[in-house]
Structure 1
């Protein structure tokens, strides 16, 4: 496992939904609008408990497979007017991005979300990453992470952990989405923080050799880190 700075300037990748933004309110509203528009029942309460995978993975629960592509297009077209202003930043998101910059690094966003809508979210919230790459899920994220030279990838889903590991990046996980801390550790997360508010302190104190455990008393310390030491 490489050090976050082993290849030069630090680049940290962040997932978007449920990592940097709480997209549940906006997505919930958009699913209800799609259900009304199409006359198809969608359990929006259930759908927002399993955010992370691509949109088609959710729509296949509610529409025949041969309609999923068309419904994805319709959902994405409706999304800007419904979901953007309803979606807040996660607590600590702006500070996490700022911490990377203060460290002299680059902060990028790599997400499964449709890239134009991801861009609208970030612009609305005033979050300005150095790069945004959308439409990538799980191990697919490794392509962008490697191209961008990311040494760290921060996400809330086991798919994000898999993407980080496939890229040879350090996996930092936050249980602020559908996966709890135990699931994230079991998937192979190197570090599990309670939420992004702990990220700046972690970044400032993280040893250059990630095999060395930090002080277990540090906020957000993960016992998974010690287990790998």
Structure 2
């Protein structure tokens, strides 16, 4: 595991903020060479509520393949790569074929029904107003991730797909991200592997306590709290 920012000794009474939350702003002052900072965001259930679109795609996939898929159950397990869900419904030898079909169906069935999560645009814009870059690092098929953001008018500075959990550290390190925001314990692991601050939002399948137990530095109820958190983090305010 990569080195992780040392926790502050400050305490907080907020049950949704980890007592180990960093209260300084490592890496958030603009770099002298690049004049920018980078904060990464997960996509599904962090920036977008992908459940309606994914459910519709699974239902169409079920109809096309003649295979039963409990789409309502599947959308409670979002986060890991598609193949980890498909193994519940298809034999191993069909996973590659069915995964390709799912991704082909996805633009037609999943993009339009999928809304932005509360505070998503404002969170991205808060990073950019602070002089930074906001990147999206997701396990989702990258072209489909870009379709979601374009449809919703969320203007990230870069989108990197096909990365899950610890593998997300590859992109976070490449882009020099010092903070990673996500909703899943896999996102926490990705942040920690990259040596980035883990900011979690309790809007996905993992509860706040589970995110904290996984090592999140900060847990917010949702992204509407992110701009204020970011402002306090940049200013180095205790408890931010």
- Determine if the TM-score, normalized by the shorter chain, exceeds 0.5: yes
How many residues were matched structurally?
213
Match of 1:108 among 124, 131, 135: 135
Residue 167 (structure 2) pairs with residue 140 (structure 1)? yes
Residue 190 (structure 2) pairs with residue 167 (structure 1)? no
Return the offset for 1:128. Answer: 1.3
Aligned to 1:53: 80
Q: Could you tell me whether the CA contact under 8 Å between 1:138 and 1:163 is conserved in 2?
A: yes
Return the offset for 1:71. Answer: 0.4
CA distance in 2, matches of 1:152, 1:108: 10
CA distance in 1, matches of 2:171, 2:89: 31
Map Cα deviations across residues 114-169 of structure 1 (whole Å, 9 max, x no partner): 00100110110111111110000000000000000000000000000000000000
The 3-state SS of whatever aligns with 2:131 is coil
Return the offset for 1:206. Answer: 1.3
CA distance in 2, matches of 1:116, 1:11: 21
Return the offset for 1:44. Answer: 0.4
Residue 234 (structure 2) pairs with residue 214 (structure 1)? no
Return the offset for 1:4. Answer: 3.8
Residue 94 (structure 2) pairs with residue 67 (structure 1)? yes
Structure 2: 5+ residue stretches without partners: 6-25
Distance 1:142 1:58, change over 3 A: same
Match of 1:121 among 148, 168, 179: 148
Aligned to 1:193: 220
Residue 120 (structure 2) pairs with residue 97 (structure 1)? no
Aligned to 1:5: 28
Aligned to 2:62: 35
CA distance in 1, matches of 2:85, 2:169: 22
Distance 1:4 1:174, change over 3 A: farther
TM-score after normalising by structure 2: 0.86
Map Cα deviations across residues 87-126 of structure 1 (whole Å, 9 max, x no partner): 0000100000010011111000000000010011011011
CA distance in 1, matches of 2:196, 2:29: 11
Structure 1: 5+ residue stretches without partners: 216-229
Q: RMSD between aligned alpha carbons?
A: 1.4
CA distance in 2, matches of 1:105, 1:192: 21
Match of 1:82 among 105, 109, 113: 109
Higher relative contact order (CA 8 A, sep 6+): 2
Higher helix residue share: 1
CA distance in 2, matches of 1:104, 1:116: 27
CA distance in 2, matches of 1:4, 1:186: 25
